[in-house]
Amino acid sequence: MSVLQKLLSIIMAIIPSWVIIFLKKKKKQVEKQAIVNMLSSTFMVDDINGGDGDLPKGLRRESMPKHLAVILDGNRRWAKKRGLVPVAGYEAGLATIGDFFSLCQTWKIPVVSLFMFSSENWLRPKEEVEYLLELFEGSLKHYLSRYCRRNGGRVSVIGDRSTLPDSLQKAIEEIEEETKDNKGMHLVMAMSYSGQNDIVHACQTIATKVKDGLLQPEDITKSLFEQNLQTNVTDVPAPDLLIRTSGEIRISNYYLWQSAYSEMYFTDTLWPDFGEDEFLKALLVYQQRGRRFGRT
């Protein structure tokens, strides 16, 4: 052992454990403040308002989606292509959400769903997951709450909340309660969400009601089933259009029941690079499709 290593060992033995704990907590506070500062510079609430609702040339108001769902994919690959750490991709992706959110508000899309964090994403590195969850919490506290107060927006979060940190659960409960009666754009954020688990949970809920004599098997209809899915938080549970970025052509356990008749738009563009031009292209493609729902 070198002299320097011996000296360090002696110092660590002398420093009380509470000092080490204090320094770790202080570091955590600094990191959280950095996230708040980043969110404040990323999202300018004053720049996001209802606008006059004018649409870009080529779009038809009557054919705009009532419910738009997005799988925000490609943040890590965006960072890797630039030689950056994964969290840099998430920060860039968060900035894109701000711009995207502004366009949805301006173009008067009533319901917007974002697949923020899947039940499978818990398998990613612990430090990366913790940073992501802190970003989500910061977004709720320092951006979305101010946006909703200014524009009358509503926020709902679906997914398995029991797996989320207590502080994030509290932030979710607070913003949902604060915005529950708002009539503006409804943002549905999927965190620790699984489409398969959503269906299983609905089946369990209905089965329990049948077992308890509250329902008869013949009472079970498609409508009843949909009422027991987590998307019952909105009056428009089925997305008209589902967009996925990054070149993957699958929906990855997201809205499995709800997207039965959704139009799909897949793009190679990574989420941090998904701007107004790409969004407009997706909407134009959507409006060119014939939605027949089984009819000729």
Please state, as a whole number, how many other Cβ atoms lie within 10 Å of the Cβ of residue 276: 12
**Alpha-carbon distance 216 to 273, whole Å?**
51
Contact 226, 53 (CB under 8 A): no
Instruction: List beta partners, residue 147.
Output: none
One-letter amino acid identity for 179?
T
User: Residue 190 in 3-state DSSP?
Assistant: strand
Catalytic-residue membership of 73: yes
**Count of alpha carbons within 13 angstroms of residue 242, beta-carbon side:** 23
Extract the tokens encoding 70: 């997005």
Which among 47, 73, 181, 198 is annotated as catalytic? 73
Report the sign of the C-alpha dihedral through residues 57, 58, 60, 65, in that order.
negative
Buried b vs exposed e over 69-97: b needs ≥16 C-beta within 10 Å? bbbbbbbbbbbeeeeeebbbbbbbbbebb
Sheet holding 67-71, edge to edge: 154-158, 186-193, 111-118, 67-71, 241-244, 263-266
Report DSSP letters for 96-147, one per residue.
HHHHHHHHHHHTT-SEEEEEEEEGGGGGS-HHHHHHHHHHHHHHIIIIIHHH
Contact 228, 209 (CB under 8 A): no
Structure tokens at 191: 């965190």
* Amino acid at the residue 126: K
Q: Which residues are catalytic?
A: 73
